[in-house]
Amino acid sequence: MSNKKPKPFFNAKNIIAISIAGLAVFTILFITVKVLGSDLDEGLDFVAKSVLPLVATWMGAIIAYYFAKDNFDATTEQSDKMIDKLTMEKRLESVKVTDAMIPLSKIQHFQLADFLEKKIMSEILDNESMKGLNRFLFFDGKKCKFIIHRSIFDRFITVRLSKEEEGVQELKLKDLIAEKDKAIHDYVHNGISYISQAGCLLDAKKLIDDNKSSEDIIVTRTSKENEDVLGWIPDTLLAEYAKV
């Protein structure tokens, strides 16, 4: 949805156009009244041959100004958008994923095997070492298996509560991974896109754009999910590079 505000009607361009139109109408009425007070035939002939062409010229100038300016503004705005897009794509294409990624050594991650049996509410979300996190990266050795957003944990709990199920306090990470709700399942199991270390940020952006469930890019040697993690590019980091 566009955040562009509509232009006010009483802007400078419209005021000029209204003023010229008003002056034209006033002029033709004034001259018409004057000439009609003299000889009728001569007066009408003067109005037809002199006043009306002059007013028509003024009105033509108003129309040309009014619509040509709108068309020019629209064309300029469209051109600016195309230039912005090209500029963004060129910039993303020029940045290697290995230069932008968060390297493995700086990624806060957790071993999946250590957390499968842990309770989501008390042992993960309320865990002191996890409280400030919005994304939880679960690894198997140096391989990334799941990246689960806090919002997915919240949604999972809400879904279970909506079914009036008891024992939500006992729900474990393995229960979330096994959840069949499509939206939750897709984000848990398809939430990671993998990219080769030879790729660029434009490639990363296309991966996220093509996968509605993915907000995270994991960099590996050849983009295979069973390879060791080299780095991580969350969509928030990608967005910083995409800003024009």
Residues 6+ apart with CB under 8 A from 158: none
Is 205 a domain residue? yes
215 and 156 within one domain? yes
102 and 180 within one domain? yes
Is 16 a domain residue? yes
Query: What are the tens digits of pLDDT across the range 9-67?
Result: 555 566 666 766 676 666 666 666 665 555 555 555 655 556 566 666 766 666 666 65
45 and 107 within one domain? no
CATH number of residue 211's parent domain: 3.10.580.10
Is 223 a domain residue? yes
pLDDT at 131: 84
Is 128 a domain residue? yes
Is 210 a domain residue? yes
- Residue 147: closest CA among 200, 109, 196, 101: 109
168 and 106 within one domain? yes
Is 2 a domain residue? no
Q: If pLDDT is split at 50, 70 and 90, which confidence band does 167 have? A: confident
Is 179 a domain residue? yes
pLDDT at 166: 76
- Lowest-confidence range among 62-76, 112-126, 154-168, 171-185? 62-76
Q: What is the largest CA-CA distance in the chain?
A: 106
Residues 6+ apart with CB under 8 A from 198: 96
pLDDT at 242: 84
Supply the range of the domain harboring residue 138: 97-242
> How many structural domains comprise the chain?
2
196 and 135 within one domain? yes
pLDDT at 88: 85
More confident residue, 35 or 222: 222
224 and 144 within one domain? yes
Query: What are the tens digits of pLDDT across the range 120-139?
Result: 999 999 988 898 899 999 99
Query: What are the tens digits of pLDDT across the range 172-181?
Result: 999 999 999 9
Is 84 a domain residue? no
101 and 57 within one domain? no
pLDDT at 87: 82
